[in-house]
Structure 1
Amino acid sequence: MRYNRICTMFLASAALTALAAAPAAAQTPYDGLWHVTIVTKAGSCEPSTHSTLTVTDGKVSAAGADVSGSIGREGLVRVSIGGAYANGQLSGNAGSGKWNGASAGVACSGRWEASRQ
Structure 2
Amino acid sequence: MLIKSAAAALALTAGLVSSLPAVSSEARGYNGTWTVQLVTESGLCDSRTTVSLSVRDGNIRLASLDEGGATVTGRIGEDGSVGLTVRRGGASGAASGRLQASSGAGTWTVSSLCSGRWTAQRRSTRVAQAD
Please report the TM-score for the alignment, with normalisation by the length of structure 1: 0.71
What's the counterpart of residue 98 of structure 2? 89
- Within the candidate set 69, 72, 75, 2:77 is matched to 72
Task: Report matched runs for 1:30-45 at 5 Å.
Answer: 30-45=30-45
Provide, for residues 16-67 of structure 1, a one-character-per-residue CA deviation record: whole Å limited to 9, x for no partner.
Answer: xxxxxxxxx8971101100000011010111110011000111000132310
Alpha-carbon offset, residue 107 of structure 1: 2.4
Amino acid at match of 1:113: T
Matching of residues 1-117 of structure 1 within 5 Å: 28-62=28-62, 63-64=64-65, 65-82=70-87, 83-102=92-111, 106-117=112-123
Superposition misfits of 4+ residues, deviation over 6 angstroms = none
- What secondary structure, in the 3-state scheme, does the structure 1 residue paired with 2:30 have? coil
What secondary structure sits across from 1:45 in the alignment? coil
Which structure carries more helix by proportion? Answer: 1
> 2:19 — aligned with what?
none
Contact kept, 8 Å, 2:35 with 2:122, in 1: the verdict is yes
Task: Identify the residue that residue 8 of structure 2 maps to in structure 1.
Answer: none
SS in 1 for 2:29: coil
3-state SS in 2 of match to 1:55: strand
CA RMSD of aligned residues (A): 1.8
Residue 29 of structure 1 aligns to a residue whose secondary structure is helix
Report % sequence identity. Answer: 37
- Report SS of the residue matched to 1:73: coil
Corresponding letter in the other structure for 2:119: E
1:28 is paired with a residue of what secondary structure? helix
Q: Using a 3 Å threshold, how does the CA distance of structure 1 residues 101 and 29 change in structure 2: closer, same or farther?
A: same
| RCO comparison, higher one (Cα < 8 Å, 6+) | 2
- What amino acid is the match of 1:76? S
Using the size of structure 2 for normalisation, the TM-score is: 0.64
Gaps of 5+ in 2: 1-24, 124-131
